Structures are given as C-alpha cells and as structure tokens.
Structure 1
Amino acid sequence: MGRPVILDTDIGFDVDDVWALAFMLRCPELDVRLITTNTGDTLYSAKLVARLLEIAGRTDIPIGIGVPIDAIEKTHAAWLGTYDFDEYEGVVIEDGVGAIIDVIEASDEPVAIISIGPLTNIASMLTRQPSVTRYSSFIGMQGSIRKGYLGAAEPMREYNVIKHTASCQKVFATPWDISLTPLDTCGVVSLRDENFQLVKTSQDPLAVAVMENHFGWFDAIKSWKGMDRYDPQVESSILYDTVTVYMGFSEDLFEVETLPIAVTDEGRTIIDESAQQIRCAMEWQDQAAFEQLVAERLAG
C-alpha cells in the first residue's frame, strides 16, 4: 500500500481541485483514507467529491463534510446537477473534522494531511485534538514566499491564506511536520499542447469527468476579468493543487528549502526568523516532467 493520506479540499470553486483529486486517485503511491471538504457550502462540495469517486470506482474512500465558511460561487453546479447522496454507495460522515481525527488515531502509521484549500478544518482539528500532530504531517497549498501568481517577481497574498487567515496562522505556528507548495512552484503549472490533448481526447471515464468540469467551470466564470485571454480548448487553468498531491509522494522534480514562515494579519506569508521552520517547494527542477506525469496519469 502507499502512504496513508487525507485530502482536505475546497472543491467546487476553482477547477484545479477536480484535477488534483483525479490525479490523486491515479497515484498508487498514495493510500487515500479520507476526503474532507471545506469552505462555502461543504455539503455541495461533498456531493461533487462523491460523484467523482463514483465515476472513478473509488466509493471505498469515506467523505467527511467539513466546516462551512463564507459563501462562494458554485462553479460546478451544472455538472453536479441533481446528484444527491441517495445515489451514493459510499460512506459520508457529517463531522468531517472528527473524521480526520479518527482516521489519524486509527492508523498504524503516520498519516499525511494534503490540504488544498483554506485551513478551517485543520485549525478546528488542532483545537479539538492537538495530539494528532504526533501521528501526522501536513502538506499544504498555501502561501507565496518569493514569487506570486503566474510567476510574478514579487510575492502576493494567496487565496487559501487570506480566505481564513486566522486558521492559517494557527496551523503554521503549531509545532508539526509542515511542508508547503506555495505559488513559487504551483502558481505556474498547467497543461498545454500535447499534454492537454492527451487528457482531452482520453475516453477514460475519470478523464472525461475532469474535462466536463474543465469546460463547465469555464462557462461559469468566462465573464471574470482576464478570462478573455484564456482558451479552454487548448489549455488547462493553473493546476495549483496537483503540485501538493505530488509532494505527498515525491520531491524529485522541485527544490525544497526549509524556511521560517509566518503569516501576517494581512494574509501574507513571510520569512521571519522567529517563526517555525517549514519545508517549502521553491523552485522547479523539471516542471515539464511534472506536467507530463499529470497528463499521462489522468489520461488513464
């Protein structure tokens, strides 16, 4: 079996969570023990996870409904349609935070939490049961250390941090085995050309579902500022969260630095010598190889 992991996701807004979940399901290096949803309508998000797991033939993975915060646009609602848990054969747990604790405490080996959203569930877990850090590690898609979105030369306030800054501050300040894939590496990843076409033309049911969500998401957000420069027929969106999934089983394709990272009240992730040391994926060694890996695994 692979490394035991829990995925905590805000799936249902930006489409990269769909790509990341599908990629994770195609990684035999990972033993997915639980998927929890966070942010916005977490019941809607859990239904989206359920439908994807059903398509992938992975209803053996429990789903936990996490803490809802701040309404967000349901950009995958059209694809989800009227799908409900009545149609789902797997286990759905109402207390997602409790489910995270239970999975960690029941495991015979350490569990890695792969977090690809705001950190409300994880902060709640730490409040409820601080001792879980002794049996787990954290790998997160949060922050911007030296570079910003799309490889910008200056760091920026990153969405998952500013969405619930207090939760991020709590997690990053907790003595724990913490690793991050900040915008420095994850903010430039996408599939284009042959890689994109490989997934787009695949007849694999999960790849088909990913592409349906890709196009449905674009239809939902095409009026947003800057989206007129984007052609969904030839490229994916930025696939931030896939990098975090990859870090769950390998670090071969990027360089990792251990840095003291603090979170300011304004939601910036800064290097502060008084802060906790956190392992950060800061530079790509072979971004092209990573993008090819994602495409090949998703294509089935």
Structure 2
Amino acid sequence: AKLLTLAGRADVPIGVGADTDIAWPQDYLGQWAADMPLRNYSGRVGLDGVALMADVLSRSAEPTVIAIGPFTNLQALVQRFPEVAQRTRVYAMGGSIRKGYGDRPGAVAEYNVKTDVRAAQVALREGAFRSWFLSPLDSCGVLQLAGERYQRLLAAERGERPPAVLAALLGSYRAWYAQCSRDATRDGGCSPGLLPYSPRNASSVLWDALPPIAMALQA
C-alpha cells in the first residue's frame, strides 16, 4: 500500500492472498510500511485476493500475471476460476535448472517452488494456464544494477523533481538493507550478490526483474 501510494498509483487494487501456512522468518519492510496500513489505502482493497485477481483478469483483453513469490495464489486461481486461468499468461520467477544461488553449478531447491511444491505442481500443469514464461535462478540469479547505471538512479533521486516511484523504491531498498544488515553476519546479508552491494553503490540480486522485462518485450 505504501509503495503504490508514494508512486501515485492508488488506481492499482490490492488483494489479500490465499490463507497459507507459509511463514517468512523476518519482516524486512514492516517498519518501513507501518505508517501506511492497508486500511488507510485509498485504492480498492479485496479481502479475497484470488477473487479480485480473477475479476481483474476476466475484464482484461490480455490477462497476464507476473508471479514473483510462491505459486499459492496461482494454484487457488486454477482451482476456483479455471476458465480465467486458462485465458491467462503467466510470467514468473521460480525454479533452478543447471545453476543455483550465487551462479553456482548444480540445481537447487529454489525458494518460490520449495515453499509450496504442491502449488507449483498445480500451476505448472499443462493446460492450467494459457502460457508460461519461467525465469529460473540460472538467468535471474546473476542480475544486479551497479556502476554508472546505478549512480544515474541516485542522481535522479537527488534531482529537483525525482520520480515518485524511484524515491519510493530506493527508500524501501534502504530500509530492507538496514534490516538485513542487523540480521545477518555479512553486510547486506539476506540476498547474495555477485558484486558488492549497498544502497550507495549497487542493487542486490534482481531476482524478480526478468518476468516483467520479458512481458514488456513480448507485448
């Protein structure tokens, strides 16, 4: 809610996802977002997020989902609204084929899949969705923004009229990094990077960047 509000995109609805036993050990952005609880969001909020997702998709000419977490909600969409799922393209981050975390050789149990294996099995079943683009660790695990390109983002933030979405994104990154640094034994901590990173010099690994990039290129 806070990110969308700061970015001026309260036109984007927020849905509360399916109930799950999945537990994330740390709430890295809870304090950053605490001043914008969901009840204060000026946009549309659906307590049944799967039904809200189905409603939005059913009214879209090109129904598309970008999935960057465990596939629990995709499983629920297939089971509750199969006709909507069958019309929907999915661009997702998940899995590992020949490389694991840190660009190391060998497949590993990637977080989005291993966290809810049954959901991944249901969502990836042939015919459940119209089409899939899946970005595994092999491709997304080596993406970082650093050097001149990253410094251009910082310069834009310092400008007279910084883009609202950029300020929101970098602000959340700084809050995430600070929490990770407190909780981990190495600087930055919880997300490995092939290059040294901090809010001053580079992003962490951009696990979730390839699915929306692929969607934009194929549009």
TM-score by length of 2: 0.85
Tell me what 1:250 maps to: 217
Matched, 1:78 2:31: yes
Q: Which moved more, 1:225-234 or 1:185-194?
A: 225-234
State which of 176, 181, 184 in structure 2 corresponds to 1:224: 184
* Bigger fraction of residues in strand: 1
- Whole-angstrom CA distance in 2 between matches of 1:83 and 1:115: 24
- Identical-pair percentage: 30
Q: Any idea what the Cα deviations from partners look like across 1:181-207, whole Å, max 9, x if unmatched? A: 111111100111112112223232221
User: Do the aligned residues in 1 keep the contact of 2:98 with 2:138 (CA within 8 Å)?
Assistant: yes
Match of 1:59 among 10, 31, 43: 10
**Contact 1:200-1:207 at 8 Å conserved across structures:** no
Moved more, 225-234 or 190-199: 225-234
For each residue in 1:228-263, what CA deviation from the matched residue of structure 2 results, as whole angstroms up to 9, or x when unmatched? 684412111101101111111216xxxxxxxxxxxx
Q: 1:97 to 1:174 in 2, by over 3 A?
A: farther
Match of 1:240 among 200, 203, 207: 207
Choose from 148, 164, 181 the match for 2:135.
Answer: 181
Correspondence 1:208 to 2:167: yes
Secondary structure at 1:121's aligned position in 2?
Answer: helix
Give the 3-state SS of the residue equivalent to 2:42 in structure 1. coil
RMSD over aligned Cα atoms: 2.0
Task: Provide the residue aligned with 2:113 in structure 1.
Answer: 161
TM-score, normalising length: structure 1? 0.63
Is 1:93 aligned with 2:46?
A: yes
The answer to whether the 8 Å contact 2:133/2:211 transfers is: no
| C-alpha deviation, 1:217, in angstroms | 0.8
Aligned equivalents of 1:196, 1:75: Cα separation in 2: 22
The gaps in structure 2 that reach 5 residues or longer are 190-195
| 1:100-143 deviation digits (Å, cap 9, x = unpaired) | 11122223x23111101001101011111222233211111011
Alpha-carbon distance, 1:86 to partner: 4.3
State the match for 1:113 in structure 2.
65
Cross-structure match for 2:192: none
Name the SS of the counterpart of 1:200 in structure 2. Answer: helix
Displacement over 3 Å in runs of 4+: 225-231
Paired residues, number: 202
Question: Given the superposition, is the C-alpha separation of residues 102 and 228 from structure 1 closer, same or farther in structure 2, using an over 3 Å criterion?
Answer: closer
Instruction: Give unpaired runs (5+ residues) of structure 1.
Output: 1-49, 252-300
| 3-state SS in 1 of match to 2:208 | helix
Give secondary structure in 1 for the equivalent of 2:86: helix
Asked whether the equivalents of residues 200 and 208 of structure 1 are also in contact (C-alpha less than 8 Å), the reply is: no
SS of equivalent to 1:126: helix
Inter-CA distance 172–227: structure 2 relative to 1 (3 Å threshold): farther
- Pairing 1:125–2:77 present: yes
Question: What SS does the corresponding residue of 2:85 show, helix, strand or coil?
Answer: helix
In structure 1, the partner of 2:193 is none
Return closer, same or farther for 1:228/1:125 CA change in 2, 3 Å cut-off.
closer
Quote how far apart the aligned CAs of 1:75 are: 0.2
